[in-house]
Structure 1
Amino acid sequence: MAITYNNLYMDIRQQLRLAGIRASTLEARELVCFAAGKTRQQLLRDGQLYVPPVVEEQVRSLVQRHLAGEPVAYLIGEWEFYGLPLDIDRQVLIPRADTETLVDCALPFLRVNPGSRVLDLCTGSGCVGLAVASQVPDCRVTLGDLSEGALRICRQNIRRNDLSDRVAPLQMNAMQSPPSRLGTFDCLLCNPPYIPSGDIAGLDTSVRDYEPRSALDGGEDGLDFYRAVSSLWREALRTGGMLLFEVGIGQADDVLRIMRSFGFGDLEITPDPAGIPRVVQGILYDEI
């Protein structure tokens, strides 16, 4: 029986909702838009039109894959972060709304330090650095990641958001000292792997089986990258520069202590919109 776009969307939304998916409205819309090749505005405009059978079949196939655990962002190959459209594949983590707090915390510092050089280390899709560049027109941003696959996605997202004049991707290893050719930065942002190794097996299927383990595994206690970046990468930050980390649940106090031990002061912890401590930031001083 023929079905309209509106009815298909509502049917899929209900199916996802009954499966316990909180973002059922968003995900149903994205899946229908992707299968139909329509924008959100076009889907709204064409809501009373009948769906071609091949499109309905594709939507329902995507829904079954999603219900089996495959994230919507990987199914459709893109996601939105801080208002920016981003290409996404399984080489990178899917940007989360929680991570927008990291951008929010950096903006006041960057806006009173014109012309800042910014490094987004462990950049993945480039979402954090690109969001900063989109909000602070006079800053220069470097996206750093060890993964060649991630850097390929970064290059696509730089072009997609017309930021090639101010954003550049470079391969770098957060667990090693920065190359001297990098120079120094005014602001270093980092959303590193922070899941304790022993906890990965217990993660939700959509994360454990689909997102890259190298972007999740933070070592035995989940803090390996915080130690390495705070100690090794302080030399890539100017005195008076700011280091900002995203942290996992229950990690904020430990990360604050790590940063303090390596000469960072004026330390602050900022919660995300759900009230979970999500960002730890501090200023680099001369002496450890």
Structure 2
Amino acid sequence: MAVCLDGGRRIMETSPPIGYEECTLFVTRLFTGARLTAVRCLSRSLSMITSRLRTVRDHIRWAVSRFHEEDVFFGHGTDNAWDEARQLVLGALHLPWEIADSYLDCRLEVDEISDLQRLIKRRIDERVPTPYLLGEAWFCGLSFIVDDRVLIPRSPIAELIEERFAPWLADEPARILDLCTGSGCIGIACAEVFPDAEVALADLSYDALEVANQNIERHGMEDRVYTVQGDGFDGLPGQRFDLIVSNPPYVDAEDFADMPDEYQHEPELALACGSDGLNLVRRMLAQAADHLNEKGLLIVEVGNSQVHVQALYPEVDFAWLDFQRGGHGVFMLTAEQCRDHQALFQSKV
């Protein structure tokens, strides 16, 4: 007679004794069962924890802890777990950011709890950025529709817009171009601070321009903001502007390979642009003089590719702008500089 142990229970087998294969099969099933039991216990534990989450504050606190525990990356409108959790929870509940503290202790409906926990799970498991989960991002105090057809707004150019590009822009611009517009956030925000300006939103992607048109309608600017499809300046022959602002794709190959998982949800067309990130920027610089008015300005974000710009054009005195709220790699050139250096810019294309 053979005796085996299974979780403390004695199992008695009559002769003949079990063989090697039967024993191996039994042990495999035993440990597989143990793993399944552990998974079920963990699942029940998590269910017990989440079942205790009843209020807005409970969910914000729990999300903060989970984001830290799972090493979530922050870089799409927030830079820390608290702001990320607050943005996700309040946004999902359609509550304002500046909410009275007493509201945080309001109990949630069952369906609200279910929706919140589903979104928090996706943020962690799938690494989907919060603005995509909510379908909304904020830029310059304005709300924009966003999805995975467009880059999530986060450019430091927002500071320049809020300051109306002072002190560099002497006069009110009559015509503004947002080149590589994506969601349209930069151009629409410019239209907000310059209410008499006509604004063109240009992009290569038809999908992105669909989102930009939705945002034009959202802000009621159809009468003076319009979209143009084309590669760089290709869709704007003969047109000139007082201000050209661009947040083009500029991530170099090395940085793109190392980007956190969250960025994999954004369109690659809006991020990567060649080994040094400057494939499009080269062409923009070569053609900018042909699209700026006499006293116009060109402002372009290139982020970490600033080092490549400086190495490529050491002769050019780019004005690299500073930001109080963080951000770097944004340069400014006057129309005169673009004209003076056009031959050089064209030689680098």
Q: Normalising by structure 1, what TM-score?
A: 0.86
1:6 paired residue number: 57
2:256 is the counterpart of 1:200? yes
Q: Contact between 2:155 and 2:247, CA under 8 Å: does it hold in 1?
A: no
> Would the alpha carbon gap of residues 258 and 102 (structure 1) be closer, same or farther in structure 2, given more than 3 Å must change?
farther
Q: CA RMSD in A?
A: 2.7
Residue 213 of structure 1 is matched in structure 2 by: 268
Letter in structure 2 aligned against 1:246: E
Mapping for residues 1-288 of structure 1, pairs under 5 Å: 1=52, 3-20=54-71, 21=74, 22-40=79-97, 46-68=103-125, 69-101=127-159, 103=161, 107-108=165-166, 112-174=170-232, 177-180=234-237, 183-207=239-263, 209-251=264-306, 254=309, 258=313, 267-273=318-324, 277-285=328-336, 286-287=339-340, 288=342
Moved more, 187-196 or 164-173: 164-173
Shift of 1:55: 1.6
Unaligned runs of 5+ in 1: none
Q: Could you tell me which amino acid in structure 2 is paired with residue 172 of structure 1?
A: G
CA 220–19 in structure 1, closer or farther in 2 if over 3 Å, else same? same
Aligned length: 281
Following superposition, the deviation at residue 89 of structure 1 comes to 0.5
Question: In 2, distance between residues paired with 1:67 and 1:168?
Answer: 37
**2-structure distance, mates of 1:7, 1:210:** 28
Identity of counterpart residues, as a percentage? Answer: 28
What CA deviation, in whole Å up to 9, does each residue of 1:123-167 have, x standing for no partner?
A: 111111111111122221111011111111111111212222221
Deviation at 1:103, TM superposition (A): 3.1
Q: Which consecutive residues of structure 2, in runs of 5 or more, have no partner in the other structure?
A: 1-51, 343-349
Distance verdict in 2 for CA 1:218–1:248, change over 3 Å: same
RCO higher in 1 or 2 (8 Å CA, sep ≥ 6)?
Answer: 1
The CA distance in 2 between the partners of 1:33 and 1:104, in whole Å, is 25
**TM superposition score normalised by structure 2:** 0.72
Deviates more, 1:5-14 or 1:18-27: 18-27
Q: Distance in 2 between matches of 1:249 and 1:104?
A: 23
Query: Hey, what's the Cα distance between the residues in 2 that align with 1:54 and 1:154?
Result: 32
Name the CA shift for 1:99/1:201 in 2 (closer, same or farther; >3 Å).
same
The letter for the 2-side match of 1:24 is A
Give the greater-gyration-radius structure (CA).
2
CA distance in 1, matches of 2:314, 2:146: 31
Alignment check: 8 A CA contact 1:102 1:244 kept: no
